[in-house]
Structure 1
Amino acid sequence: MADKMDIINGALAKITQAPISSLNDNSPRARAAMACYDFVMGEVMTAYEWSFCIKRANLKPAKNERGEFIRPEFGEEYVFRLPKDFLRKISVNRPDSDAAVEGEAILSASADDLHLRYLGVETCERHWPAHFTPCMTARLAAELCASLKCGVENQTALMAEYEMRLNRARHNDAYNKPTQSMPAGQYEAAHETGVGIGY
C-alpha cells in the first residue's frame, strides 16, 4: 500500500511537478505538501464515516488531583475527555440530547461510563483501504495546485476528480457496513413513485 511519500508524489504528479526525494526536502513542493497534508487528511476523513476510521472508547468522567469531578465553567454536567485522535462523534450510550461535544470534551448529566463510537484519525497510510488513497491524493493535488500556483482551471478539475473518487469510495466502503433491511412497503412505494432509496 502507499505511504506518505507515495501520496505526496502522486499528488505532485497530477499537477506536473517533480517528485520530492524526502519528507524533509527543503524544496517549495515539499514545504507546501507538509504544510497542508494533515488538514487535508482531516477533511477527507470527515467526509464520510469510513469503516477504517471508526473507533470505540470507554470514557470515565474527568477528575482533578483531589479526586473531585471536574465540572464545566457553569452547569452541573460531568466532563468526559475526548480521545486525542477524535474527529467526530458517531454515537454514545446516551440520548444525543445528553452528550454534547464542547471543545475537547463531551458533557453529560450522567457520571456513568460513556461508551463512545467515533470517527478517529488513522495516520498510518499503509492501513488505508485502496479506495481511500486516491481520494486523498486528488484532494491533496487540488490543495497543492493552489499553493504552487498551477492554475485555477487545474484546481477545479482536480476538485471534480476528488468528488468523483469520493463518491466511488463511499460506495465501496458501504459494503463494509451492516446490511440494513428495507421497511415493509418501502420498496414498492419507491418503485411506484420513481424515488430512489439512498444509503
Structure 2
Amino acid sequence: MTTQASQTRIVNKALTILGSTSRVLSLTDNSPAAKVAFRLWDETRDEVLAEHPWNFAVARTDIARSGDHVPATGWSAAFELPADLLRWLPWREDHPDHFAGEQEGQYILANGNGPLFIRYIRRIEDVARWSSGFTAAFTARLGFYMARPITASGTMMDRMERMYDKAMADARRQDGLATGRTARTASFRSDWLGARERPYGA
C-alpha cells in the first residue's frame, strides 16, 4: 500500500462522509475536490498530530547548544530543536532528565552547555505509519475543513466537528491502552477556536 493510495482513501472517505459523490484518484488530480484536499492536507495533519502525544509520533533525542543564537536575557544558552518537531513535551519535574527552560521559536532556552535530552511530537508524513485512531481523527478533521468548500453547509461543519471530537476521544483512549498510562486518556475537549487542553505527560 503506497502513501499516495492511503491519502486517496482518506480523502475519499472524508468526501463520502460529507455526502459528496466526488472521488479523487490522487491529491494531484485537477478536480475541485483534490485541489481542496491538497491545500488542506499538510496543515491539518500537523494540527491533529500536535493535539496529543501519539505513540507513533513521539520521539526522544539530544539537542546541542547553538552557536548561532544567543538569548538576550534570562538564559545562558539556546538549543536548536529538530526540524520535524511539532510540539515539545517538557519532562515532569520529578523526571531524571527534567531541566528548567522555555521554548522560543525553534530553540529551547536554558542554562548550561548541554546537550539537552528532550521528548517531542514529530511530523510523520508517511500515512502507513499512522495509527488507526489517529487516521480516523484526521479524516474527520479534514472533512470538517473540506465541508464548506465542498458542501457549502454550516450544518455539515457542525456534524464534522462533533465527529472529530468523538474520534479524538476514542483515539486517545486507544493510545493510552497501548502505554498503560491512564493519564494520557484524559477527556478531549474541542471548540471553534482550537483552544484545547493539551496534557504534557512525560
Give TM-score, length-normalised by structure 2.
Answer: 0.79
Q: Which residue of 2 aligns with 1:104?
A: 106
Is the counterpart of residue 21 in structure 1 residue 20 in structure 2?
A: no
Taking only the aligned residue pairs, the percentage that are identical comes to 26
Partner of 1:90: 89
How far apart are 1:178 and its partner, in Å? Answer: 3.8
Deviation at 1:170, TM superposition (A): 0.6
Q: How many residues align?
A: 175
Cα distance in 2 for residues equivalent to 1:22 and 1:141: 16
Listed as ranges, the matches of 1:63-82 within 5 Å are 63-64=67-68, 70-82=69-81
Once residues 9 and 73 of structure 1 are traced to their aligned partners in structure 2, the CA distance between those partners, rounded to angstroms, is 50
> Which of 40, 43, 47 is matched with 2:47 structurally?
43
- Structure 1 residue 91: deviation in Å? 2.6
Provide structure 1 residue ranges, at least 5 long, that are not aligned to the other structure: 65-69, 182-198
Cα distance between partner residues in 1 of 2:46 and 2:23: 23
**TM-score, normalising length: structure 1:** 0.80
Pick from 179, 182, 189 the counterpart of residue 177 of structure 1: 179
Q: CA RMSD in A?
A: 2.1
Which residue in 1 is equivalent to 2:145?
Answer: 143
Cα distance in 2 between the residues matched to 1:41 and 1:78: 32
Superimposed CA distance per residue, residues 95-148 of structure 1 (whole angstroms, 9 cap, x where no aligned partner):
3xx221100111111112100101111111101111221111111011100232
* Structure number with larger C-alpha Rg: 1
What CA distance in whole angstroms lies between the structure 2 residues aligned with 1:166 and 1:57?
27
Partner Cα distance (1:80, 1:178) in 2: 32
CA-CA distance at 1:84 after TM superposition: 1.0
Output one character per residue of 1:73-94: Cα deviation in whole Å (capped at 9) or x when no partner. 4455211111111111113533
State yes or no: 1:115 paired with 2:117. Answer: yes
CA deviations 1:124-179 (Å, max 9, x no partner) are: 11011112211111110111002324301111011101111111111111012244
After superposition, the Cα gap between the structure-2 partners of 1:160 and 1:179, relative to the gap in structure 1 and judged at 3 Å, is: closer
SS at match of 2:62: strand
Which residue number corresponds to residue 66 of structure 2?
A: 62
- Residue aligned with 1:176, SS: helix
User: How far, CA to CA, are the matches of 1:113 and 1:94 in structure 2?
Assistant: 13
Separation in 1, partners of 2:9, 2:164? 17
Q: In the alignment, what sits opposite 2:164?
A: 162
Letter matched to residue 170 of structure 1: R
Contact 1:15 1:150 in 2 (8 A): no
